[in-house]
Each structure stands twice: as C-alpha cells, then as structure tokens.
A and B are shown apart, each in its own frame.
Chain A
C-alpha cells in the first residue's frame, strides 16, 4: 500500500492554464506539506496543514492555493501557470509532535 500518493505523476501544460495536483496519505498523519524541488534539486517548503488548518505558508505566489478537505488529503491548485512554475512538487505527511516526514513520489510539472 502506498503511504503518500500523488496524482498525476507527470503534468505538461501550457502557460496560463489552471491545474491541480492531488495528494492522499493513509498513514493516519495529521500534518501534510507541499514542497517544491527546482531544477537544482533544492527542496523548499510551500505550505503545511495540520488537521485541515493552514500552519505554514511560505512566500508563495497567491496563484498557488492549497486545499485540505480532510486530514488525509491535501490538494494544490495552481492558477495562471508560468514557465517558472516548472518543477517537481512533493507532498509529504507527518504526525504533529513526531519528526519523521514521509514523501510522495512527486509530480513533475512542465509548463510550456
């Protein structure tokens, strides 16, 4: 069973489009995250949610809007996609108070 699963794995889209990435975890964790990994492999946190409540919102353009319908799901919606949004986006989860975070396989977003 996949612990943290993201869909889709690959996403190619044109500039200006709106797209969503979905994430689900079956670990019973209460905290979920979105990370962006750029072409230089640098991993930067974008958002984190605890029990559906936003707790970390780094300086991310407001074209990015996370949504957590329940504590097992955290989706990322991106409006008006730009070339610079091309990256690999990772979802992760953990248990608040515990330190280990589990990552999904990533979604490679390519904006053309």
Chain B
C-alpha cells in the first residue's frame, strides 16, 4: 500500500517534444504529490508538486495532472530540452506521518 508505481522506466524524446511520465498510488492517506529531478552525481531536487484537491498545476514547461478517483498523476514536460535530461521521480507524502515515498524513477533523455 505504500508503493508508488512509475512508468516508463526510460524515455527518449526529441528536442521540442512532450515528455510524459505516469505514476499511480494506492494509499489514500497520501496528501501531497511532488516530482523530483535528479542529475547525475546530485541529490533529488523538487521540481513541482500538487495537492489532491487540484486536478492540474503548471509551472513554466512543467505540468502535473492529477486524477484523484483513479489515484494516478502524471508529469508533462512541454518543449523538452536537452538540459531536461535527468532522472525524474514521482513521490507521495503522508504529511501526517511525514513519510516521503518515491516511485522507481524515469530516466529521460532529450535528443538534440
């Protein structure tokens, strides 16, 4: 119940294309859903996050779509750039328990 499933495992997108990463969760106690971006040799860094009372959140080229009834959420990266090449992790937080559970990660490569 604590798992967050993430797909695809890896993704290759051409420059200017749209990158889409999907996640699903089971535990209804999760009440915050962040996405983290990790570059090689660095720690994960918060990219964008959403709470379940909102169906969509957009920050620049990054958009989270959230479907509470399906317990699914996704990250869309518009106009993908080579600098976006990184590993992306979805996560789910039970803020009452202060526990952050990560998805399995998606390695994104944006080709020039």
Q: A residues near B, CB below 8 A?
A: 4, 31, 33, 40-45, 48, 50, 55-56, 90, 92, 94, 96-106
Contacts and interface: CB of A to CB of B under 8 A. Distances in A.
18 contacts: A33-B100, A41-B105, A42-B102, A44-B102, A45-B99, A55-B97, A56-B97, A56-B99, A90-B44, A92-B100, A94-B98, A96-B98, A99-B32, A100-B34, A101-B34, A104-B43, A105-B42, A105-B43
Say whether chain B's binding surface is mostly helix, strand, loop, or mixed: strand
A32 to B, nearest CB: 10
Interface in B39-69: 41-46, 49
Q: Identify which of A43, A56, A96 gathers the most chain B CB atoms within 10 Å of its CB.
A: A43
A33 B38 CA distance: 17
Given A50-B98, A97-B95, A42 B105 contact: yes
